[in-house]
Amino acid sequence: SIDYFGNKKIDPSLTNAALFSRDRHICGYCGDSFTSKNLSRDHVVPVHKGGEDRWMNAVSACRACNTRKGGRTPEQAGMPLIYLPYIPNRYEHLILQNRRILKDQMAYLMEKVPKHSRLHS
């Protein structure tokens, strides 16, 4: 995508740790909370069906739901998403990377995090 100034926007890197943090360790299908080791990255539109490995096509899923969904879309599997994926902005991504952030730094970063971010809930 292109920003206001005509520059190509680069999405922050997608890692499982950042994805699970964005989704607050909640499975996008059953809504239960899990530890990182019990979550996996699910592609809403499976890669083999043309889906990309990007923020807007990835949600956290418990292993049971990911297995049940298989290589299908949520609609095909009868498993609607309980939240929508989104791309974290650069400030939210810094927080999601789980770095040691001082209290005053966190206050500054949180001011820059969009209101729709799950970090506000």
DSSP 42: E
More confident call, 5 vs 92: 92
Strands (E), the chain: 39-43, 58-62
Mean pLDDT of 64-82: 97
* Greatest alpha-carbon span in the chain: 46
DSSP character string of 51-77: --SSGGGEEEEEHHHHHHHTTS-HHHH
Contact call for residues 57 and 43 (beta carbons, < 8 A): yes
Among all chains, which residue has been given the structure tokens 């005509």? 6
- Alpha-carbon distance of 120 to 118, in angstroms, equals 5
- Alpha-carbon distance of 61 to 38, in angstroms, equals 9
Mean pLDDT of 62-81: 97
Mean pLDDT of 89-98: 78
pLDDT tier, 27 (very low <50, low <70, confident <90, very high otherwise):
very high
Among all chains, which residue has been given the structure tokens 């927080």? 95
pLDDT tier, 8 (very low <50, low <70, confident <90, very high otherwise):
low
Q: How high is the mean pLDDT of the chain?
A: 88
Four-CA torsion 13, 19, 24, 28, nearest 10 degrees: 140
- Alpha-carbon distance of 11 to 112, in angstroms, equals 16
